[in-house]
Amino acid sequence: MSQKEIVYVLSDSIGETAERVVKAVAVQFQEEEVEIRHTSHVSKKEDIEETIQKAKSEHSILVYTIVVDHLRDYLNKRAQEENITAVDLLAPLMEVFVRKFEREPSHTPGLTHVLDEKYFRKVDAIEFAVKYDDARDIDGIKKADIVLIGVSRTSKTPLSMYLAYRGFKVANIPLVPEVPAPTELFELPKGRCIGLVITPDNLNAIRKERLKKMGLQANASYAQMDRILEELDYAEKIMKRIGCPVINVSNKAIEETANEVVDILDL
């Protein structure tokens, strides 16, 4: 069995980007014959010097993603002095960006990892909103960043999803006179729950349209004004008992309501 070729990967962050590129290339040369060794979170010259000495003794290649200028310059200088092949994966594209955008980069390490964390937080929030939509699981009330309550057709679900896309875990609970409100709602700390209300006329029009799309009669109890007033009155009593802020969603875009929620709860 032939000895593995060693590639040192250096980064002032985790080093995932460099590792992916090295593996993509290594697979073209029988990946199992290449060993990748990491030096992550490079923050001082001593970190680089240690790897330089190892790479020199093992006749290895250095591949790096370092955005801090003085560290990158030091690595390049030492690699040349020791006759080590060093490949800067970011510099060529960075230079193109500088020319195109006509401004300098921030030279801040770890930004990719920060973006990844935001992405996964967003995914978790969306999965949370789906799981705890429409009171499917009452346990979501205590786990949520935001709990939305209101009668049917007050935009609870689309608002939950929009807020989830912004990274907030949202549970929503419909308020129905015949169904007791979950006790968990009254145990929530202040600043976690928002009540959604709407004018009776707007709700009547929305519900009639909903029935029409479902192929049902528009004069069903669901869309009758007496029923609507009863539901709104019940919801108002629950919201007062909880003591939560209330937003009137009549004729408001989801984005506008979402901004109000975030502002009111100071998130």
Q: Binding site for ADP, residues? A: 150-157
Half-sphere exposure of 13 (CA within 13 A, CB side): 19
Q: Which residues are annotated as a binding site?
A: 150-157
Whole-number Å distance between alpha carbons of 58 and 60: 5
End-to-end CA distance of the chain: 59
Question: Which residues are CB-neighbours of 218 under 8 A, at least 6 positions away?
Answer: 208, 211, 212
Question: Which residues are CB-neighbours of 90 under 8 A, at least 6 positions away?
Answer: 65, 66, 67
Half-sphere exposure of 87 (CA within 13 A, CB side): 13
261 phi, psi to nearest 5 deg = -60, -50
Q: Would you mind telling me the total number of residues written for the chain in this entry?
A: 267
Helix-, strand-, coil-residue percentages of the chain, each rounded to 5: 55, 15, 30
Q: Report DSSP letters for 70-87, one per residue.
A: HHHHHHHHHHHHTT--EE
Helix axes 16-26, 111-131, angle to 10 degrees: 100
Which strand (E) or helix (H) includes residue 6? Answer: strand 5-11
